[in-house]
Amino acid sequence: MNKVKHLIEPDDLTNSEIESLISKGMDIYDNPKNYSDVCKGKIMASLFFEPSTRTKFSFDSAMIRLGGNVIGFSDASTSSTSKGESLADTIKVMSFYSDIIVMRHPKEGAPKLASMVSEVPIINGGDGGHQHPTQTLTDLITIKRFKGNITNHTIGFCGDLKHGRTVHSLIKTLSRFEGNNFILVSPKELRLPEGLKYQLTKQYGTKFTEVETLDEVMDKLDVLYMTRIQKERFFNEEDYLRLKNSYILTNDKISNAKANMIIMHPLPRVNEISYEIDDDPRSVYFEQSRMGVFVRMALITTLLEEAK
């Protein structure tokens, strides 16, 4: 079997590979015409064993903008794994029908299994609560576009930091780049998992502080990364009532933030960012989802190029 490169988790990419994907993504953003037929004649299989409209369409759009074609499914019940076929068999066969495969699967580790049997590059579009590397690339290219670089920032993460896989991957990856430090804002019960904190400190010497409310740190942030926080995640009503307002972003809340701070969110949001914030020039979450298409275009072309 050919040795092809896959993207299963952010750690599959070196820092310089990440940087070149970001700059390629920026180049595509600036000059989309130059890339409109670089994937002509190529087929991307988009295998969504679990629905995720946003991620699926972001990938499909990326491939189509590159002049390629897309086949696949967006619901496991239409795939033969629902008849009991092993995932390995599905992937093996799909890798004969396509040049690159992007997959989302509810089981953690499924893309890794896929990468072991596939003849073509596998891109992990999310596996359970485990990894979502293209969201991380999306976040990084957004920071690059709006802040100029992905180093030397103070990044605040706010919300449910315990269950948020987008947060976990992004912190780990940003820790690999120089000078970044983190302020973690969450209720005590929803702090970053101990294992991850241990890993960050031990492996990267990451600097972070943990607080419970946004107000005390707002003026220090270069980037504010909001995530969903649900009422049912709280351990008691009292804590919820006490903290609820401190996690909902309003104009008032960001009044003392830096003028060049950016507000990010992996979307979809529920109520953690009020609509009045959308007009603030610091809000970049919609641009963030747009940048996701460009970085995915960069990723697809790069993996296809390397698989030749």
Partner 1 sequence: MLEVKGIKEGIVIDHIKAGNGLKLFNLLMLEYINCPIVLVMNVDSKNLEKKDIIKIEDKFDLDLDKLGLIDSNITVNIIKNNKVIDKKNVTIPKKVKGTFKCSNPRCITNSDDYISPSFKLIDSKGTPEYLCEYCEEITKYDGYLLNK
Active site residues: 54-55, 83, 104, 132
Task: Kindly list the distances between the CA atom of residue 301 and the CA atoms of 24, 121, 141, in Å, as whole numbers in the listed order.
Answer: 10, 11, 16
**Torsion sign (Cα): 111, 113, 114, 115:** positive
Does the footprint of partner 1 cover residue 193 (CB under 8 A)?
Answer: no
Of 81-89, 207-215, 237-245, 271-279, which part binds partner 1 (CB under 8 A)? Answer: 81-89
* Beta carbons within 8 Å of 268's beta carbon, 6+ residues apart: 54, 228
128 binds partner 1 (CB under 8 A): yes
Q: Does 113 bind partner 1 (CB under 8 A)?
A: yes
Nearer to partner 1, 82 or 251 (CB): 82
Both tokens of 75, joined, read: 């619901």
Considering beta carbons, is residue 38 or 76 the nearer one to partner 1? 76
Q: Are 100 and 123 in contact (CB under 8 A)?
A: yes
Q: Does 107 bind partner 1 (CB under 8 A)?
A: yes
In the bound state with partner 1, the residue whose beta carbon lies nearer, of 85 and 306, is: 85
Q: How many CA atoms lie within 13 A of 197 on its CB side?
A: 12
Single residue of 5, 112, 162, 282 touching partner 1 by CB under 8 A: 112
Only one residue has tokens 């359970």, namely: 128
Contact between residue 154 and residue 208 where contact means Cβ atoms under 8 Å apart: no
List Cβ neighbours of 27 (8 Å cut-off, separation of 6 or more). 34
Which 226-285 positions form the footprint of partner 1 (CB under 8 A)? none
Binding mask 213-232 for partner 1 (x = CB under 8 A): --------------------
132 is in an annotated binding site: yes
In whole angstroms, how close is the CB of 99 to partner 1 at the nearest point?
23
165 part of the interface to partner 1, by CB under 8 A:
no
Cβ proximity to partner 1: between 81 and 289 the closer is 81
Contact between 172 and partner 1 by CB under 8 A: the answer reads no
3 state SS of 59: helix
Nearer to partner 1, 115 or 288 (CB): 115
- C-alpha torsion 220→223→227→231, nearest 10: 20
109 binds partner 1 (CB under 8 A): yes
146, 83, 89, 91: which is closest to 123 by C-alpha?
A: 91
Of the candidates 87, 223, 263, 300, which one interacts with partner 1 according to CB under 8 A? 87
Which part of the chain contacts partner 1 (CB under 8 A), choosing from 26-34, 95-103, 107-115, 278-286?
107-115
Question: 3-state class of 273 per DSSP?
Answer: strand
242 is in an annotated binding site: no
Q: What kind and span of H or E run contains 72?
A: strand 69-73
Measured distance CA(158)–CA(160) in Å, rounded: 7
From the list 108-116, 141-149, 273-281, 296-304, the region that binds partner 1 by CB under 8 A is 108-116
Asked if 106 is part of the footprint of partner 1 (rule: CB under 8 A), the reply reads yes
CA dist 168 and 10 (Å) reads 11
Segment holding 301, helix H or strand E? helix 285-307
Say if residues 123 and 299 touch (Cβ distance below 8 Å). yes
Beta carbon nearer to partner 1, 99 or 127: 127
Which residues are documented as binding site for L-aspartate? 83, 165, 228
Which residues are documented as binding site for carbamoyl phosphate? 54-55, 104, 132, 135, 267-268
Binding site for partner 1 (CB under 8 A): 86-89, 105-110, 112-113, 116, 127-130, 195
